[in-house]
Amino acid sequence: MTSHSKKDRLIMAGLFIAIIATLLISLNMGTMRVTPAEVFQTLIGNGSEQNQLILFDFRLPRMIIALLIGAGMGISGAILQSVTHNELADPGILGINSGAGFAVVLFIYLTHNNPVSTVFVLPLTALVGAVLAAVLIYSISWKNGVTPIRLILVGIGINAAFSALIIVFQLRMDPDNFTQATIWLSGNISGTDWSYTLALLPWILILLPFTIYKASTLDALNLGDETAQGLGAAVEKERMLLLLAAVALAGASVSVGGAIAFLGLVTPHLARKLVGVRHRHSLITTALLGALLLLAADTIGRNILSPSEIPVGLVVSLLGGGYFVYLLMKS
Amino acid sequence: MAIGTQQKNRHNSRPVVAGLILTFGLVLLIISMALSILYGAADIDLLTIWQSLTQYDPAQSAHQIIRNLRIPRGLAAALIGAALAVSGAIMQGMTRNALASPSIMGVTAGAGFMMAVAMAINSQPSTLTMMLWAFAGAGLGAGIVFGVGSISKSGLTPVKLALAGTAVTSMLSALSSGITIHFNIAKDLSFWYAGGVASVQWIHVQLLAPVMIIGLILSLFLAKSITVLNLGDDVAKGLGQQTILVKVIAIIVVLLLTGAAVSVAGTIGFIGLVIPHITRFLVGVNYRWIIPGSAILGALLLVLADTASRMINPPFETPVGTVTALVGVPFFLYLARKEGRGL
């Protein structure tokens, strides 16, 4: 047991170091090259004005956003998989992403994309959409309580409905708005600045520790409702709290980064493969892994075909999917 | 057989309801296919339709429309709807996962990937070429998923199959998005990929029908084994089932059905995921009823949705996938609330 948790700590420490390393590498890579020495000089305050602009106003906020979204989506997926007892659950398949997407598409359609207001209003709209989807799913599945299977089934239905509505409204848009909506829907963190980072930060700072604090409850819920009750968990209340946390994390992440597919599904699995099913360790590992995966994917997407960018969602799928397939074959 | 009977009682299979649904579903399917031939952008009366069948006159454009457009389209819609729904039922039964659908076997993503490759090589492919590429892609996708699932040391478990499928699907989709962006063929490809059954011709039906009919017949033979497999691998083995053999055949059936459907109609979501659930709500958990029920309800939904997609905004067509979702979701939610039980 002790050797086990020692191994887990090593893995977590390794991930943390990998994140720091990727951060440093990512800082000096990009269309404008900044050498490691210059990065260091700029970080301690002696950089040129141009380097300061590149690092502090363009790269750093974007990288921090990647870390926050990666951790948020990963934890959201981990909660949903445990609460629904389904390894295929994630914010996407349960309709939270498409609820946010629908709100954004509807907003662009109705306002004809007034560019000044949308920069700050779009994330808020997306959050409203995500919460709306979650409220719909929860209230429709409520019948003397909520069962995991009903939650999943209703989630599938809501997801299908919102996805269909997205297409209906998208087809009625003019090409410019259509393109803007498509970019948003495929997940994109290229236009971020500090205001987004600051908007997302409190969600992650509050909900991440909350979820980790609830790790033992998640362990209990994962064993099934009766067992959890037997272990003294107030199943219905805890489940609602945790679902709320999952929705808020996914909603906040999606509202800033768009619907980055696959991240919420794959990171909890990778974490479980690395440190096992106990949530106290797997949740922390999930957050670290999600942050690392999205940061690495964004760094690659930004640089490999520079100056044009590969959408980060595609790189996440290739990196995460590839590693996951490798783990599946190995296990 | 004693175990089978116990199973029925415990899980509440409903053969009477199932029989009624099969009969009425079939009648409704025939009516709706007639409707789908009757309604369209061009107004054609019943008499002309009858004449086009009995005294075909190629000089008349109405006869041409009926014979060469609407009849193959109706037939294709029915076949594809049935194929997708049955593959979904098999996938959910085999993996014991309510979120499984034919697309997570890598079939759809594989077809999309190969279509992207085909378009990147030759920007003006013929219908037949695209169909063959798509079918090859479907095989490739399923092959990779199955390979990954079975290479691992602990062997092929349903959950592993579903997970491998999800991972491979998302990688293949990412690759095809990359190709479409790089070669700037996103719009052309979306025409194939989100195709629906609007541009179906007889050649499609002729290629589609044999594959699908073989697949559907095989799936009926599989039904009993899937019911047993759905109790879990250990139970199935205990009952003397050769689980590996059943899974391999089941995957081949899914590949045949979905591959053929995708290569003609692109991705039509929702049917493969939701029709099996609706059928299960109605007829209970015995796959001997779920599979034929899914076939009929899937065919019915796609034929109706395709007809509606022509009538909502004529002469434009609304994507059939959205119509199936918008028609099916309210009913699905109602059933999920009312029954809400597992697999």
Q: Which of B99, B168, B323 sits opposite A93 (nearest CB)?
A: B99
Query: Is residue B6 scored above 60 in pLDDT?
Result: no
B288 vs B219: CA distance, rounded Å:
9
| pLDDT of B193 | 61
Query: Is residue B241 scored above 50 in pLDDT?
Result: yes
| pLDDT of A53 | 77
Q: What residues of chain A lie within 8 A of the CB of B165, using their CB? A: none
What percentage of chain A has pLDDT greater than the value 70?
A: 92
Put simply, the chain A residues between 269 and 308 with a CB less than 8 A from any chain B CB are 269
CATH code, A98 = 1.10.3470.10
Work out the pLDDT band at A287, boundaries 50, 70, 90. very high
Q: What residues of chain A lie within 8 A of the CB of B99, using their CB? A: 86, 88-89, 93, 152, 156
A88 vs A103: CA distance, rounded Å:
25
B104 vs B173: CA distance, rounded Å:
11
The 10 Å Cβ neighbour count of residue A274 is 20
Query: Is residue B3 scored above 60 in pLDDT?
Result: no
Query: Is residue A72 scored above 90 in pLDDT?
Result: yes
Indicate the residue type of A9: R
pLDDT, tens digit (0-9, with 9 covering 90-100), for A88-101:
788 887 788 889 88
CB B228 within 8 A of CB B156: no
Query: Is residue B342 scored above 50 in pLDDT?
Result: no
Residue range of the domain that includes A98: 2-330
| pLDDT of A295 | 93
CB B13 within 8 A of CB B284: yes
* Interface contact flag, A160 B273, Cβ < 8 Å: yes
Lookup: tokens for B202:
């007889």
What's the number of domains chain A is made of? 1
| pLDDT of B80 | 92
| Residue-wise DSSP of A299-319 | HHHHHTTTTS---HHHHHHHH
> Would you say how long chain B is, in residues?
343
- Alpha helices in A172-257, H assignment, sequence order: 175-185, 194-213, 215-222, 225-230, 235-257
| pLDDT of A44 | 78
pLDDT, tens digit (0-9, with 9 covering 90-100), for B261-283:
888 887 777 788 889 988 988 88
Lookup: tokens for A85:
């007892």
Indicate the residue type of B6: Q
User: Which of helix, strand or coil describes residue B97?
Assistant: coil
- Which residue would you say has higher pLDDT here, A180 or B4? A180
Over residues B28-33, the mean pLDDT reads 89
| pLDDT of B299 | 93
Handedness of CA A321, A322, A328, A331 (dihedral sign): negative
pLDDT, tens digit (0-9, with 9 covering 90-100), for B137-150:
988 988 888 888 77
Is A131 in CB contact (< 8 Å) with chain B?
no
Query: Mean pLDDT lowest for which of B39-43, B136-140, B146-150, B253-257?
Result: B39-43
Q: Which of A157, A266, A311 sits opposite B167 (nearest CB)?
A: A266
| pLDDT of B5 | 38
CB B300 within 8 A of CB B32: yes
0.85 surpassed by complex ipTM:
no
Query: Is residue B1 scored above 50 in pLDDT?
Result: no
CB B178 within 8 A of CB B120: no
| Omega within 30 of 0 (cis) for the link into A148 | no
Work out the pLDDT band at A51, boundaries 50, 70, 90. confident
Is A314 in CB contact (< 8 Å) with chain B?
yes
| pLDDT of A185 | 73
B79 vs B205: CA distance, rounded Å:
9
- Looking at the domain B2-338, which fold is it? ABC transporter involved in vitamin B12 uptake, BtuC (1.10.3470)
Q: Which of B97, B98, B164 sits opposite A153 (nearest CB)?
A: B98
Site from A136, A139, A153, A318 to mutate, B interface, most B CB atoms within 10 angstroms:
A153
Residues 6+ apart with CB under 8 A from A184: A101, A104, A122, A258
Q: What residues of chain A lie within 8 A of the CB of B104, using their CB? A: 88
- Which residue would you say has higher pLDDT here, B222 or A118? B222
pLDDT, tens digit (0-9, with 9 covering 90-100), for A144-201:
777 777 888 888 888 888 888 887 787 777 767 776 777 777 677 776 678 788 888 8
Q: H/E element holding A159?
A: helix A148-171
CA distance B183 to chain A (A): 13
| pLDDT of B194 | 61
- Alpha helices in chain B, H assignment, sequence order: 2-11, 15-38, 46-54, 61-64, 71-95, 107-121, 127-151, 158-182, 186-193, 202-229, 233-238, 243-265, 271-283, 287-311, 320-338
B270 vs A147: CA distance, rounded Å:
22
Q: Return the closest-CA partner of residue A167 out of A178, A156, A157.
A: A178
Q: Return the closest-CA partner of residue B198 out of B296, B107, B305.
A: B305
Handedness of CA B266, B269, B271, B276 (dihedral sign): positive
pLDDT, tens digit (0-9, with 9 covering 90-100), for B143-170:
888 888 777 666 667 677 778 888 888 8
| pLDDT of B339 | 59
| pLDDT of B98 | 75
Q: What residues of chain A lie within 8 A of the CB of B329, using their CB? A: 157-158, 160-161, 164
The mean pLDDT of chain A is 82
Over residues A122-146, the mean pLDDT reads 84
Residue with tokens 């729904």: B85
| pLDDT of B41 | 64
The residues facing B313 across adjacent strands are B316
Query: Is residue B343 scored above 50 in pLDDT?
Result: no
CB A267 within 8 A of CB A290: yes
Residues 6+ apart with CB under 8 A from A325: B148, B164, B167, B168, B171
pLDDT, tens digit (0-9, with 9 covering 90-100), for A227-266:
777 777 778 888 888 888 898 888 888 888 777 778 888 8
Indicate the residue type of A324: F
Query: Is residue B43 scored above 50 in pLDDT?
Result: yes
Domain spans, chain B: 2-338
CB A94 within 8 A of CB A280: no
Q: What residues of chain A lie within 8 A of the CB of B171, using their CB? A: 317-318, 321-322, 325
Put simply, the chain B residues between 25 and 54 with a CB less than 8 A from any chain A CB are none
| pLDDT of B7 | 39
